[in-house]
Amino acid sequence: MALNKVVICGVNTAKLPLLTNDEKNELFIQIEQGDKQAREKLIKGNLRLVLSVIQRFAASNENADDLFQVGCIGLMKAIDNFDRSLNVRFSTYAVPMIIGECRRYLRDNNAIRVSRSLRDIAYKAIYAKERILKEEDREPTIDEVARAIEMDKETVVMALDAIATPVSLFDPVYQEGGDTLYIMDQVSDKKNKEDNWVEDISLKEAMKKLSDREYNIIRLRFFEGKTQTEVANEIAISQAQVSRLEKSALKSMKNYLDI
C-alpha cells in the first residue's frame, strides 16, 4: 500500500488542514444548527486523522486510494453520530469508527469468503451492539444483541467470529503521553511462572540491579504472567507508569547481560 505519495484520491495530503479542539467544537455547534458547510469543513479538517488510521493497514497491500475513501466514510459516520455531551475528544470517538469501517471493507474483500447471509447477521449484530451502547451507555451482552436482531446467540457468535479479522500482538490499543499499550501487554501468561530457566542466563543477577519497584513489576509481569493493567492495580500506580518502569527495567537488564 503506497502511503508515501503526496496525493491520495486527488487530495494533496501535504496540505491537509489542521483544526484546533476549539475550532472543532465550534463547527459541531454550527452543524447542530444545520450548517452543511461546517460539516464539510469539519470533514476536511479531519482528513489527516483518516490518513494516520489507514497507515495501520499498510500490511494489507490494499490500494491506498480505496482505503482512504472507506476511512472517509467512517469519519463522516463519526461526525454524524458524535455526541458532544459525552465529554470525550472527537478523535477518541472517531478513530474506532474509521478502523471499523476499514476492517469491514477488508473483510468483504478478503480472499477467505464468508457467506452473505452470515455477514449480514454479523453486521446486524454490530449495529445492534452500537445502538444499545449509545442508548444505554454500557456494553451489551451477546444475549441482548441476539434478542435485538431476533437470532439465537450461537448464530450471532458464529457470525461475528466468521468476519473477525486477526490482529497482531503489536497492535496498539491505547496511547497516553507517548506511552503505547499494545495487545501483548494485555495478554496474561499463566504458564510462565517457573523460574528454573532464569538460572542458566543470569537473569536473577540482572534483576538484583533493579530498584524494588522495577523488580516487583518484572516479577509480576514475567513470572506471574500478569498484564500491565493488573500490575498497575496491584501496586497502585497508573498503567502508563508501569509501562515506563517496565521498559526501563528491561533496558537495564539487557545492558547488564550484554556486559
Q: Check: CB of residue 185 under 8 Å from CB of residue 228.
A: yes
Residue 101: the pLDDT is: 86
Strand boundaries in the chain, DSSP class E: 7-8, 11-12, 172-176, 179-182
- Grid cell in block for residue 35: 450548517
Q: If you ran DSSP here, which 8-state letter would residue 13 be given? A: G
Residues 6+ apart with CB under 8 A from 126: 100, 160
Beta bridge partners of 174: 181
d(CA 169, CA 182): 7
Beta bridge partners of 8: 11
The whole-model pTM stands at: 0.43
pLDDT over 70, % of the chain:
74
Residue 198: the pLDDT is: 41
Find the range with the poorest average confidence among 127-131, 151-155, 169-173, 212-216.
169-173
Read off the amino acid at residue 42: L
Conformation bin of residue 34: beta by default, left when phi > 0, alpha when psi is -120 to 50: left
Asked whether residue 79 carries a pLDDT value surpassing 50, the answer given is yes
With vertex at residue 138, the alpha carbon angle to CA 133 and CA 189, rounded to the nearest 5 degrees, is 110
